[in-house]
Chains A and B, each alone.
Chain A
């Protein structure tokens, strides 16, 4: 199975900051990675897919990049509503796997 390792596990940042979350795959997965945001007590919400057919479900301040084993989600101009836990997920092969999550706190 492909393991997805996220870092950091927690980040605290101020409104207007740039936040970068990393996700490392245990093997080459080309660029088949998606990102989700989950707020406490709520369902996850699709943020971005950076695979062969790029898709975004979030505001333009969210961007994703990477290929091979290293991937990044960047939140530019952090907004109060961007708090929550962010998960990466690989879709290169079954079983699909998620990263352990990165909690983003607004200072």
Chain B
């Protein structure tokens, strides 16, 4: 059964850093681009970024709201994708989802359950 599981969320103080992990099972993560999406409490979905698969350069794309503060990486040998979040702010409080790219068309055909990040002093 194909599955994505996020981990690493929690309570963090403003200005600090946090790294989220997204562990894939049931499929080979290295064959897919992977993305991150967040949802603030009571709000809609916000795309954060994408990392292409290695055959396509492993390059990244980011939303303007997180570019320069967040970075996405991947460790295909472990079937894990990461979201490194620096200089966290209160408006970064959200549930963070990792998601798999569908057939290189930049939509999400498989989602993780999400992990909650709360930024507060």
Contact = CB atoms under 8 A, between A and B. Distances in A.
Q: Do A and B come from one complex?
A: yes
Interface of A: 1, 32, 34, 36, 38, 42-46, 49, 51-53, 55, 57, 87, 89, 91, 94-101
B114 to A, nearest CB: 5
Interface residues of B, number: 25
B44 interface: yes
Contacts of A43: 97, 111-114
Contacts of B45: 36, 38, 44, 87, 89, 98, 101
Given A87-B44, A98-B44, A46 B109 contact: yes
A34 B101 CA distance: 12
Interface of B: 35, 37, 44-47, 50, 61-64, 97, 99, 102-103, 105-114
A42 B39 CA distance: 11
A16 to B, nearest CB: 29
10 contacts: A32-B105, A43-B97, A43-B112, A46-B107, A46-B109, A49-B102, A49-B105, A55-B107, A89-B47, A89-B108
A74 to B, nearest CB: 18
B103 A55 contact: yes
Nearest to A46: B109
Interface of A is mostly: loop
Given A43-B97, A55-B103, A96-B106, A101 B111 contact: no
B102 A55 contact: yes
Nearest to A101: B44
B43 to A, nearest CB: 9
